[in-house]
Structure 1
C-alpha cells in the first residue's frame, strides 16, 4: 500500500526533524521532501518524482514566506493541498491563507492525534480547520450543512464579501456608507444566522458556499 507523501516547508530544522519523525510514526504517511523556505520548495517542486499529497507550510520564513508561497501555489499549482502550520494565530493571517486556498490552518502546539486527523481529513475530505482556529460550528464538506437554506439579503451578502477582505470593520462601514454601529449589527446578525462565532467563521462559510472564489 502506497504511503501518502508529505512535504515540509519550514526553516526551523529542529522542528522540521521532529515533525518528520511524528509524521513517520503515523504509519500511512512519509515525509518525502523538506524545504527551508518557499523559494526552495517551489524550485524543487517540479523535480520531485511525485507531487506531495499534502504540504505542511510554515508562515514566517526568510526569503519567501508562507503567504507568498501560498500565493504562488494558487496561481501555478492550485490543486496542491496545503496545511498551514504556524505559531501565528492572528485573524488577518488566517484569513489570508484561507483566501489563498489553504486547506487547513493549525497551530504548532496542536496535539499529535489532532494533527494526524487534520492530514487525513485534508486528503480524504478536502479540508480541515480546528475548532481552536475557526471557533465555528461549520461541518466538514461531506456532511449536510444545516445552514444550506439560510437566506441572506443583498446587503448581508455585500457585508459578508467585504468581511472576507483585509478591511477593518470601520473601513467596511465606510465602503457600505453605513455607521460602525450598523455594521456591528450586520456582523451579529450573520453570526446568529450562520451559527458562527468569529470573522474567520464568516470567511469559511463564504468559501464553502462560493460567495467568494479562492
Structure 2
C-alpha cells in the first residue's frame, strides 16, 4: 500500500517537480496538487483525503499558516510537512505551532524529503537538528509569552471556564454569573474556539494544562 501525498504550492514548476520525485518513491504516490489552502479545502470536501500534505507557506488566498491550522482543527490525522524557502525562526515556530509535523527547506536533497516522509509516517514527526535549534531559541525565557494573553480570554470567559470545570449545569452557571443561558452559550462557543476544543471534557483538560484550574 502506498501512502497518499497532496502538494499545496502555488509555484507550478516546483509542484510538478515534487510530484515527479514522489511518484518515483516506492511507498508514496501523489493524489493531486493545489495552489492554495482554499483549493485544498475544496478537495477535502470531496473526501479526497491524503495521509500527508506537503505545504508551502507563501500562497495566495489562504497561506500555509492558515491552511495548517485548518487541517489541525478539522483533520488532525492528516500529517502536514511544511516545505518552504523561509528559514526564519518565526516562520518555523508558527508552522509547528499550527500543527505541522515537520519543516523542510526547499533546498533540501531528495533523500532528506524521503527521510522526512518516512519519519512522519513511522514516528508522527520529523525534526532536524536545525529545526530543533530554532525551537529551543524560541523558548528562550525572555521571549516566552503568557499563554492566556495569547489566547485572548477576558475575565468573564475565565470565570465561565472555572465554573464549566465543575459539576454545575450551564443553566446553573448562568444563574451564578447573573446572565441568560443564551449568553452562556455565547461564552461556551467563544471559549471553545479560542482554546481549540470541542467538548466540556476537552475544555477541562486544557484549563488544567494552562493553569486556569488547579487540582
Q: TM-score range by the shorter chain?
A: 0.5 to 0.7
Counterpart for residue 33 of structure 2 = 34
TM-score (norm 2): 0.62
Unpaired segments ≥5 residues, structure 1: 139-156, 168-210
Cα distance in 2 for residues equivalent to 1:107 and 1:95: 14
Counterpart for residue 184 of structure 2 = none
Q: Does the C-alpha gap of structure 1 residues 24 and 130 become closer, same or farther in structure 2, counting only changes over 3 Å? A: same
Q: CA deviation at 1:46?
A: 2.8
Aligned residues: 148
Cα distance in 2 for residues equivalent to 1:96 and 1:137: 10
8 Å CA contact 2:102, 2:127 repeated in 1: yes
8 Å CA contact 1:38, 1:64 repeated in 2: yes
Counterpart for residue 89 of structure 1 = 87
Cα distance in 2 for residues equivalent to 1:164 and 1:7: 36
Counterpart for residue 55 of structure 1 = 53
State which structure, 1 or 2, has the greater radius of gyration over its C-alpha atoms: 2
Cα distance in 2 for residues equivalent to 1:98 and 1:63: 21
Q: CA deviation at 1:131?
A: 2.2
Counterpart for residue 144 of structure 2 = 162
| SS of equivalent residue, structure 1 residue 128 | coil
Question: Which structure ranks higher in relative contact order (CA pairs < 8 Å, sequence separation ≥ 6)?
Answer: 1
8 Å CA contact 2:102, 2:116 repeated in 1: yes
Q: CA deviation at 1:128?
A: 0.1
Cα distance in 2 for residues equivalent to 1:137 and 1:69: 21
Deviation readout 1:135-185 (Å, 9 max, x if unpaired): 3899xxxxxxxxxxxxxxxxxx994992697x9xxxxxxxxxxxxxxxxxx
Describe how 1:47-196 pairs up with structure 2 within 5 A: 47-49=46-48, 51-135=49-133, 159=141, 162=144
8 Å CA contact 1:81, 1:103 repeated in 2: yes
1:10 aligns with 2:13: no
Cα distance in 2 for residues equivalent to 1:15 and 1:158: 35
| SS of equivalent residue, structure 2 residue 77 | coil
8 Å CA contact 2:89, 2:134 repeated in 1: no
Coordinate RMSD, CA, aligned = 2.8
| SS of equivalent residue, structure 1 residue 11 | coil
TM-score (norm 1): 0.62
Cα distance in 1 for residues equivalent to 2:31 and 2:101: 20
